[in-house]
């Protein structure tokens, strides 16, 4: 595998990262280009809040490329919606072959979410309770190559909404299901028919495998395989830009009187995302945590 490494000023770091992801980058990270020097610039805010500045003065943007990706074509596509990116210096570097997803995920142990949910990674299966306490559920999870160990604040927010607000026997659509953690939790918390959708075939398979491990039924599929219909609850824990693009479709999947739950949204992005859904239903911040929010709303 290869990484594309670019240098860019602070104002471009976030829009450039978003553009690269939308154009096919596997991942994008941003570092202080002056780290470990006298010019290193710390970023921090009050505890539990975001830093006032979202990037450094000089940023190193590191882009993981899929095999066969042409870096010049990727950059050209990302530049279409951006200004002042044509002269950014960049170079390529090799990345040793490894299953980085599994290596990273193996750091996580069992996670308690709220008062009702326990997430047990498959590599700690010996810690799965034989019988959970009353009104508590335990999920054994192997994320595989999909997103979703249960550790991120946005996942916690969605899980806690399901634990506190999910109507009994509700039909649920988990759009961007990843490892299937939200879909499986919905079933164990009393939902009726639950469907998981993801654009990544590996995520679809991870959801199927995890549903089987937890002895629950979740229909998992690619977007083109999702049949027409509406759901009592639609939940999507992805990112703000795709959430805005998907607004007509996701809102259209919510039945009249049904509920839409969105996360993967930073607090500063909440109003913009809510505005994208305003033509169909009102969204408000249900809860916030560590700079992230969960938006929720009921369709008239």
Question: How far from the centroid of its chain's Cα atoms is residue 57's Cα?
Answer: 27
Q: How far apart are CA 39 and CA 232, in angstroms?
A: 53
Based on the domain organization, do 183 and 271 belong to the same domain? Answer: yes
Give the closest residue to 174 by CA, choosing from 257, 161, 139, 123: 161
Q: What is the CATH number of the domain that holds 214?
A: 3.40.50.150
- Structure tokens belonging to residue 220: 């998992």
Alpha-carbon distances of 36 from 31, 39, 267, rounded to whole Å: 11, 8, 30
Q: How far apart are CA 193 and CA 219, in angstroms?
A: 8
- β 27-32/58-65 pair status: antiparallel
Based on the domain organization, do 181 and 278 belong to the same domain? Answer: yes
Half-sphere exposure of 239 (CA within 13 A, CB side): 8
Based on the domain organization, do 150 and 277 belong to the same domain? Answer: yes
Based on the domain organization, do 65 and 207 belong to the same domain? Answer: no
Based on the domain organization, do 81 and 177 belong to the same domain? Answer: no
Per-position pLDDT tens, the chain of length 300: 899 999 988 888 888 998 899 888 989 999 988 877 776 766 544 444 454 555 688 899 999 998 889 999 998 888 887 766 667 889 999 887 766 666 665 667 888 899 999 998 887 778 888 777 788 999 998 866 556 666 789 999 999 999 999 999 999 999 999 999 999 999 999 999 999 999 999 999 999 999 999 999 999 999 999 999 999 999 999 989 999 999 999 999 999 999 999 999 999 999 999 999 999 999 999 999 999 999 999 999
Q: Which residue has the tokens 């996580």?
A: 108
**The model's pTM:** 0.68
Alpha-carbon distances of 170 from 101, 235, 261, rounded to whole Å: 33, 12, 14
Q: How far apart are CA 252 and CA 272, in angstroms?
A: 19
Q: How many residues comprise the chain?
A: 300
Domain interval for residue 258: 146-298
Domain count, the chain: 2
Question: How far from the centroid of its chain's Cα atoms is residue 182's Cα?
Answer: 11
269 found inside a domain: yes
255 found inside a domain: yes
């Amino acid at each position: 595998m290869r990484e594309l490494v670019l240098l860019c000023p602070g104002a471009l770091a976030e829009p450039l990262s978003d553009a690269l992801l939308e154009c096919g980058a596997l991942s994008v990270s941003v570092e202080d280009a002056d780290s470990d020097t006298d010019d290193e610039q710390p970023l921090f805010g009050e505890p539990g809040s975001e830093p006032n500045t979202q990037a450094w003065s000089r940023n190193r943007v590191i882009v993981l490329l899929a095999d066969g990706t042409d870096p010049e074509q990727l950059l050209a596509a990302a530049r279409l919606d951006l200004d002042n990116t044509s002269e950014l210096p960049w170079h390529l570097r090799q990345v040793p072959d490894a299953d980085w997803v599994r290596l990273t995920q193996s750091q996580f142990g069992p996670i308690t979410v709220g008062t009702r949910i326990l997430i047990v990674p498959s590599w700690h299966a010996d810690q799965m309770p034989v019988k959970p306490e009353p009104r508590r559920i335990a999920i054994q999870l192997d994320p595989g190559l999909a997103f979703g160990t249960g550790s991120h604040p946005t996942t916690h927010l969605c899980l806690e909404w399901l634990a506190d607000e999910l109507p009994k026997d509700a039909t649920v659509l988990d759009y961007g299901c990843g490892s299937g953690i939200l879909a499986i939790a919905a079933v164990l918390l009393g939902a009726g028919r639950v469907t998981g959708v993801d654009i990544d075939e590996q995520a679809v398979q991870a959801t199927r495998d995890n549903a089987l491990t937890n002895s629950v039924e979740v229909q998992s599929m690619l977007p083109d395989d999702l049949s027409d219909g509406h759901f009592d609850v639609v939940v999507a824990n992805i990112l703000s830009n795709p959430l805005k693009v998907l607004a007509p479709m996701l809102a259209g999947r919510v039945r009249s009187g049904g509920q839409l739950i969105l996360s993967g949204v930073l607090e500063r992005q909440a109003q913009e995302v809510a505005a994208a859904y305003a033509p169909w239903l009102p969204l408000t911040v249900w809860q916030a945590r560590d700079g992230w929010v969960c938006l929720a709303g009921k369709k008239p």
